[in-house]
Structure 1
């Protein structure tokens, strides 16, 4: 993309980096929540509505936890 004279790109702010770290961590945590939580819940013997409910809880918990740690790590690096 050609550059326009007189217009400079800015680096993302610290707050933007923290938000991005949280979003990436949340996505990774949700994916791991599906894999590990789903496996353990199916192994436990739940089916149907209970399976979906508990996998959803595992996804949100995993996403929130990993997203928080990624946001903290991104904030430290600012």
Structure 2
């Protein structure tokens, strides 16, 4: 039976720190989009917005909360590297 080579030939590497930061941002952005859709939608309907105003306002809140959550998740992932 042939001997298996030792060393780093068969060792797998995990994601780099930059990859972890990007993944953290994308995860946070996704959670922020969902949260922004819920809270922004309820708030806009409560204010009586309909049609184009509703879609514009909810879209803006989704992007804002997605960016905020994503930024904090990216920072947290960067700290853990």
Same fold at TM > 0.5:
yes
Aligned positions of 1:23-42 closer than 5 A = 23-42=26-45
Aligned residue pairs total 74
Q: Which has the higher helix share?
A: 1
Q: Using structure 2 for the length normalisation, give the TM-score.
A: 0.87
Unaligned runs of 5+ in 2: none
Which protein has the larger Cα radius of gyration, Structure 1 or Structure 2? 2
- Give the C-alpha shift of residue 7 in structure 1: 3.2
Distance in 1 separating the partners of 2:73 and 2:26: 9
Match of 2:77 in 1: 74
**Corresponding position of 2:15:** 12
**1:65 has 2:68 as partner:** yes
With structure 1 as the length reference, what TM-score do the two structures score?
0.91
For residue 41 of structure 1, report the CA deviation from its aligned partner.
0.6
Displaced runs of 4+ in structure 1, greater than 3 A? none
Query: What's the CA shift for 1:32?
Result: 0.2
